[in-house]
A and B are shown apart, each in its own frame.
Chain A
Amino acid sequence: DARVTQTPRHKVTEMGQEVTMRCQPILGHNTVFWYRQTMMQGLELLAYFRNRAPLDDSGMPKDRFSAEMPDATLATLKIQPSEPRDSAVYFCASGLVGGTGNTIYFGEGSWLTVV
């Protein structure tokens, strides 16, 4: 059963530390999304890629966040330096977007706590 895989599932880190979250999209999907979810802001789109090229990262704080797709099987979201306000669940999603519709599949999320 194909699914999006995210690591780590849970991370507690100290303020100022670098955090890297990884995502393995479903094989064959051409679009990868990074979302952040908090109680206050809901689900926010941070960045997304199509065929590994970044299409939009306007939702991401540029000074500390970066997103990349080194290859078709790996997407990364990096926070450096991390701050307590970055505490959230970070979801990766992938889909075969570009044709008929918007079906995307989410991973189980990376639960980040910055203390």
Chain B
Amino acid sequence: LAKTTQPISMDSYEGQEVNITCSHNNIATNDYITWYQQFPSQGPRFIIQGYKTKVTNEVASLFIPADRKSSTLSLPRVSLSDTAVYYCLVGDGGAAGNKLTFGGGTRVLVKP
């Protein structure tokens, strides 16, 4: 199973762009990269998923280099409500079974 490594915490200010990089050196060919967001007292919530290159949705962008050994979640123009823990997951979702294991996550604090 591919293990992920993320920074423990990051501070930012309202209106800034926040970039969180996740390392997954042992990512397998069939693995997808998925990011989740968790607010206090709530379950994690899916943000974005990608396989390679760049993916963008209404919430974030995900940049994946060609070697796929890392990925960067980009949150544009953050607000106070983006304060949360962000998790990076790697897994194949395939028929062999998918043990979706969360790492420690990155605690993002957005300041006024």
Contacts and interface: CB of A to CB of B under 8 A. Distances in A.
B42 A102 contact: no
Task: Kindly name the residue among A45, A97, A107 whose own CB sees the greatest number of chain B CB atoms within 10 A.
Answer: A97
Contacts, number: 67
Interface in B23-60: 32, 34, 41-46, 49, 51
Interface residues of B, number: 26
Contact of A97 (B41, B93, B101): B93
Given A43-B44, A43-B87, A91-B43, A102 B104 contact: no
Contacts of A100: 32, 93
Contact of A98 (B49, B93, B99): B93
A102 B102 contact: no
A35 B97 contact: no
A53 B49 CA distance: 26
Task: Kindly name the residue among A45, A48, A106 whose own CB sees the greatest number of chain B CB atoms within 10 A.
Answer: A106
B100 A107 contact: no
A45 B102 contact: yes
A24 to B, nearest CB: 14
Contacts of B49: 101-103
A100 B51 CA distance: 9
Contacts of B51: 101
A97 B104 CA distance: 22
A68 interface: no
5 contacts: A45-B102, A98-B93, A101-B34, A103-B46, A109-B43
